[in-house]
Amino acid sequence: MEPIKLYEQWLHDFADDAETVQDLLAIKDDPKEIEDRFYRDLEFGTAGMRGVLGAGTNRLNKYNVRRVSRALAKYILTTPDGAERGVAIAYDSRRKSTEFAKEAALVLCAAGVKVFLYESLRPVPVLSFTVRHLKCIAGIVITASHNPAQYNGYKVYWTDGAQMPPDSVKGITDRLPETTFAESLPMDEQAALDKGLLTYIGKDVDDAYIAAVKKLSVNPELAREMGETLKIVYTPLHGSGNIPVRRIFDEIGMKHVYVVKEQELPDGEFPTVKVPNPEDPAAFTLALAMQKELGADLCVGTDPDCDRVGIACMTDNGLRLLNGNQIGCILLHYILSQKKERGELPANAAAVTTIVSTEMARAIAEDYGVKLIKVLTGFKYIAEQIHLFETTGCNTFMFGFEESYGFLSGTDVRDKDGVNACMLIAEAASWYKKMYNKTLADAIDMLYEKYGYYGDKVTSFVLPGKDGLEKMQHTMAALRENPPKDFAGEKVVAVRDYQTSVRTTVDGETETLTLPKSNVLYFELENKAWICVRPSGTEPKIKLYVNAVSGSDAETKKLLNAYSDAAVKLLESL
């Protein structure tokens, strides 16, 4: 149906909904906006749905939440004991998160599916844990992670606590076209409670989760000792990390934790930041000022759903933020070195990271005789490896990380875990302070000296709307048809096309790639450098990753800038 016809249909069908009508009437003279809101249905992909809030088929609103929840219910009803096992639901501090969580819950209840709903906001890792802890068939988190305030999302987890696998996603997407708004109505809340279909949960599961995180402490004695003096500034960036992160710091013995008051309480408007993303240095402005004032050893920030963590340290040259690759390598080295020292490193130990994360992780893993496995971008692929390890016994999971600030060291959670990461970061900071009187900024420099100066640079090309989608498709197609021969004079020695599952060398030799098919192009350069291009799976953007390594910090930066400038110029030309 034409966008304008769908627009008119929504005005008619939801005439009793004053908020929706007002939103639609505000764009009645804006054909471009009408087209963008109605040219397609909001896509349900591998991580669920994420979109701008507002009325329309291509926006996140209660009607789309109801409809996808009904499709999920239909799929669950085809699984053994699925309705009885039920669905756990959590949500963060974003606009309409509470409303959407309850809408999803009551639509599921109306279909006869039990729901375990948190009584207040919780992080993503807590939901992942809850699915496993309560033995639910599925889980939902209402969140848009680190996106700007106008976004929200609907993430679906499956029975193992990881994001839904492709066959289960298909179970929903196959049922969405046949699912109408009219049939996707919520049950009365009191009726759902009375019938035992809706249960509110909280403290008991929180306690179990915190106990599971504490078991992952590598050196609890050291944490208690150094916690008497180590100073930490923490900001939850108006999100769901405030209570669990502060609790884990307290329970492992961190006595001096200072919270940024302006960013302490949940607020979906995120009034103190442009983007609530610990990858963005601007998000740390208030925390860094506090850190400088207090002379704190460490500054830690989590995003709204508390699955990502960023850190900053005081140095002689001022405050320094570390990126996701650097944090991941510090934690990997800390875990492996301490486990080995304590005689606790299994013979079949393995770490998992992604194809767009630093190769420095491989150098560290090999140094400790640990297997490193690289997977596609997305923490669900790391979770798949954990499941494989458990079912086959082939390896013991030690640590997993993504360059996009996601970390995990345990198996009770199957997504990146900001609470787990904050605990490990505090421990690692304690260890470097006691052993060397150094900060984590010094720690990464020490690792560079030992393993080589690995550097990385990520550039995002934001391409919103229908036109943006077409530009992304055109860009990737053009790169495949005419792949570059070099970047800044550095020869491309091989191209990995994960969409066709073929790696082709400059000499024309080919080999099959074993990872799942994905719209990713990876260019291997001489000198162990590489460049990767892929459309984001959750945002309207193409991401460009550039990595290089050399024997000095200055040379690596020089290489990074040259390769990145050449790659940016190429993509802009397409």
Interatomic CA distance for residues 109 and 96, integer angstroms: 20
**How many C-beta atoms lie closer than 10 Å to residue 478's C-beta?**
14
Catalytic residue among 69, 128, 145, 564: 145
Tokens of 551: 């024997």
Which amino acid, 528?
K
Interatomic CA distance for residues 208 and 368, integer angstroms: 32
Q: CA dist 425 to 322, 368, 527, Å?
A: 12, 20, 32
Respond yes or no: is residue 93 known to be catalytic: no
Among 264, 336, 258, 327, residue whose Cα is nearest residue 297: 258
Q: For residue 74, give every residue at least 6 positions away whose Cβ sits within 8 Å of its Cβ, in sequence order, or none.
A: 111, 175, 179
Query: Which pairing describes strands 490-497 and 521-525: parallel, antiparallel, or unpaired?
Result: antiparallel
Q: For residue 573, give every residue at least 6 positions away whose Cβ sits within 8 Å of its Cβ, in sequence order, or none.
A: none
Interatomic CA distance for residues 444 and 334, integer angstroms: 11
Which amino acid, 540?
P
Interatomic CA distance for residues 554 and 500, integer angstroms: 37
**How many C-beta atoms lie closer than 10 Å to residue 554's C-beta?**
10
Tokens of 419: 């609470």
CB 123 within 8 A of CB 241: yes
Helix (H) or strand (E) holding 505: strand 502-505
Question: What are the residue numbers of the active site?
Answer: 145
